[in-house]
Structure 1
């Protein structure tokens, strides 16, 4: 044999080399990248402006957005935020009694504000108040549980 190593002595040694394998892998990667770029740019017009709406559809979309915005209880949300800032801004994070009185005060203010609202807003507000009171009770229970665990 010529001075070839034993691992290159087979019949395939003359056809496949590292150089040829590298060139084949690079060519395959190039073709794959070209295919992906081609499919990406073909889908671009569909994404950018393929769904053109006529004036009736645009008017329908605009009206539905206006209705959605009109249904939001903006005044109620603003008033609840004001009441929360008043109630929690003055008292801060004081003792549990002050938290309870703040919650009761907030509840009373919300009841006074309810007079001008519709039934669904009142129900949602009542559910929010119940959840808020339940969270306050849970915090009190957790606080008492951790303080009793520390004294043992």
Structure 2
């Protein structure tokens, strides 16, 4: 049963003649197919990037309007008053700094007075301690003699 109509003999190449539109898959065909898909994707990306400028402008305009509304809703008088209070507070801090210098000088004067008082107090306490010892010794002597 050799089919003489088919070149190559019995059973060889029968699918090629049965399906004449079948494309052979080669590296060249794969390269052409990949390049075609790359070109299609590049065209779609360019269209998405440059073609949607109308939608992008509408989005920008919407964000501009939202920003304008947000700014319009800000309590400007309250912000001004807060800034005034902050300025007043900073002025008061400057005054406090000046009075802090005066406080430091007063504190140093007080510490000098306390040191002088302690020195006098130490001398007085030494005298009182010596008198107490003398009395104690005198009492102890009187008890021995009694």
Q: TM-score, normalised by structure 1?
A: 0.32
- Higher CA-based Rg: 2
Where relative contact order (Cα < 8 A, 6+ residues apart) is larger, the structure is 1
